[in-house]
A and B are shown apart, each in its own frame.
Chain A
Amino acid sequence: MSYVTVSIPQLVLSLGLMALAIAISSRNHLGLEKDLLVGTIRAAVQLFAVGLLLTIVFRNEHPASVFGLIGVMVLVAGWTAARRIAHGPGTGVLFRYATIAVFVSGVVVLVPVFTFVIRPARWYEARLLIPISGMILSNAMNGVALVFERVFASVHDDAPAVEQLLSLGASPKQAVDRHVRAAMNAALRPTINGLLTVGLVALPGMMTGQIVSGTAPDQAVRYQLVIMYQLVAVAAVAGALAARFARTLSFTDREQLRTFADRRVR
């Protein structure tokens, strides 16, 4: 199996593409030159750092380093999903719940797939576990963030109707049912759209990568399908957990609506 290698001079040559984008921005007064420049450098630094980290972990493959890295990914995903939630109880409180939602949904989806479908040669095989976990956890993170954002914001905006429902004897679950369903729908929608259009518009990144590095397309397709189904499942599980947490956090133990001021730092 052969794969394409990119030498450093070749990589530097590809910077010409960024120069092209910067030139277009400058010529059309888009004002994006600085962002493009920073983005070019940041992407390179971040990816080289990750590449270096992965090289180290791959060379010293050990359950502790592999799962340590995945653990860090879970925490970062939890933190990111809990940030900047308008009208929520604050990042400190949400972080715990977001991390639980990311972790549980990741376990529910990843463990069976690694056990029965992908079956790595070693159960802690870094080459498989790390990139696939990364994709799944980031989808879980997006699902949690979307549900938190939507539930807290829409319950806040619709507080009079939610309290009116409580007044008529609704349980907290009944009182925010509409908001929770809309949020879960929104969390699943992008992944479902991905399922519907995959291959028609663009080949998914992982499949492209596998084909470029020499995998037979039919195998790359099977792999990609497993991943896509995982992405849907993880969005569903993470979204459902986040919805349940958001609902619980929105009421006191006397079933009164708690509303939160917008705490985002602007």
Chain B
Amino acid sequence: MPVSLEARHLRKSYEGRVLLDGVDLRLGPGGITTLSGPSGGGKTTLLRVLGLLSEPDDGQLLLDGTDVRTLSPRAVRRRVALVAQAPAMFQGTVLDNVRTGPRLAGEELPEATARELIVRAGLEPQFLGQDARALSGGEKLRVAVARAMALRPEVWLLDEPTAALDTERADLLVNLLRDLATAGAGILVVTHDARALERLGGRHLRLAAGRLAEEAAA
């Protein structure tokens, strides 16, 4: 069931600095939204608030029309994937990492499914047995995408996902995100990568000094 994630008047400041100054945003099913802006402009904070890792000082977050404060945070987080710019890998193999989400919910992801997921994320199947912590930045990013896919999230939040990837790998990831959107997911990508921006298409927003503004795509 495709759902939307909606933010209303989000405000957050930290140590006297305003990071989000009344942000309204709707990530609808099947839509791709790209976001750019100066560093320190609040992009990562916005992703953290949308991913429920950080609490806004004010404002409301609705998942499928329901205030997330009335829902269990774990249940919401399982439905909203957050892929950090330099994702942390857990101890163990790539397979262990991809299995983490389902395992936390008491389910065992079949190895065949995990293999399928890492291939979709742009890694060769033989990566499954490798030590996840020993991978390169770009490989870790792709493991993080596969790891998130294992939960079949309805909303995706990605922070500079192509930054550590070469053009070919970046294109592959963009295609994957477009496929996920076609399948009904709502997607928000923070990126400054002009090629990715162009290929992702969709709506382009700019966040500066905590304020969100619509922009014509680059």
Binding site for B on A (CB under 8 A): 158, 160-161, 163-171, 174, 178, 252, 254-257
Chain B neighbourhood of A255, CB < 8 A: 73-74
How far is it, in angstroms, between the C-alpha of A178 and the C-alpha of B88 when the chains are bound?
Answer: 15
How far is it, in angstroms, between the C-alpha of A169 and the C-alpha of B147 when the chains are bound?
Answer: 12
Whether B104 lies near A167 (C-beta < 8 A) is: no
Q: Which residue of B73, B75, B148 is within 8 Å of A168 (Cβ)?
A: B148
The smallest beta-carbon distance between B168 and chain A, in angstroms, is 27
Q: For residue A164, which residue of chain B has the nearest CB?
A: B88
Whether A168 lies near B77 (C-beta < 8 A) is: yes
Q: For residue A174, which residue of chain B has the nearest CB?
A: B104
The smallest beta-carbon distance between B101 and chain A, in angstroms, is 4
The smallest beta-carbon distance between B148 and chain A, in angstroms, is 7
Chain A neighbourhood of B89, CB < 8 A: 161
Chain B neighbourhood of A171, CB < 8 A: 74, 104
Chain B neighbourhood of A164, CB < 8 A: 84, 87-88, 90, 144
Chain A neighbourhood of B73, CB < 8 A: 166, 254-256
How far is it, in angstroms, between the C-alpha of A167 and the C-alpha of B51 when the chains are bound?
Answer: 7
Q: Can you name 29 A-B residue pairings with CB atoms under 8 Å?
A: A158-B88, A160-B87, A161-B88, A161-B89, A161-B90, A163-B88, A164-B88, A165-B100, A166-B53, A166-B74, A167-B53, A167-B81, A167-B82, A168-B77, A168-B78, A168-B148, A168-B151, A169-B74, A169-B75, A169-B78, A169-B104, A169-B105, A170-B74, A170-B104, A174-B104, A252-B55, A254-B69, A254-B73, A256-B55
Chain A neighbourhood of B165, CB < 8 A: none
Question: Is residue B164 within 8 Å, beta carbon to beta carbon, of the partner chain?
Answer: no
Beyond A166-B77, A169-B105, whether A160 also contacts B84 by CB under 8 A is yes
8 nearest CB pairs, A to B: A169-B78, A161-B88, A160-B88, A168-B101, A255-B73, A164-B88, A167-B82, A170-B104
How far is it, in angstroms, between the C-alpha of A254 and the C-alpha of B54 when the chains are bound?
Answer: 9
The smallest beta-carbon distance between A259 and chain B, in angstroms, is 11
The smallest beta-carbon distance between B44 and chain A, in angstroms, is 12
Q: Which residue of B53, B74, B81, B90 is within 8 Å of A163 (Cβ)?
A: B53
Q: Which residue of A160, A168, A169, A256 is within 8 Å of B54 (Cβ)?
A: A256
Whether A167 lies near B55 (C-beta < 8 A) is: no
Q: Which residue of A161, A168, A252 is within 8 Å of B147 (Cβ)?
A: A168
The smallest beta-carbon distance between B213 and chain A, in angstroms, is 28
How far is it, in angstroms, between the C-alpha of A254 and the C-alpha of B74 when the chains are bound?
Answer: 9
Q: For residue B78, which residue of chain A has the nearest CB?
A: A169
Most chain A CB atoms below 10 A, which of B55, B104, B151: B104
How far is it, in angstroms, between the C-alpha of A239 and the C-alpha of B213 when the chains are bound?
Answer: 51
Most chain B CB atoms below 10 A, which of A164, A252, A257: A164
Question: Is residue B52 within 8 Å, beta carbon to beta carbon, of the partner chain?
Answer: yes
How far is it, in angstroms, between the C-alpha of A171 and the C-alpha of B147 when the chains are bound?
Answer: 17
The smallest beta-carbon distance between B93 and chain A, in angstroms, is 16
The smallest beta-carbon distance between A195 and chain B, in angstroms, is 30
Q: For residue A170, which residue of chain B has the nearest CB?
A: B104
Chain A neighbourhood of B147, CB < 8 A: 168
Beyond A160-B88, A161-B90, A254-B73, whether A168 also contacts B100 by CB under 8 A is yes
Q: For residue A168, which residue of chain B has the nearest CB?
A: B101
Q: Which residue of A160, A165, A254, A256 is within 8 Å of B104 (Cβ)?
A: A165
Whether B55 lies near A169 (C-beta < 8 A) is: no
Chain A neighbourhood of B151, CB < 8 A: 168-169
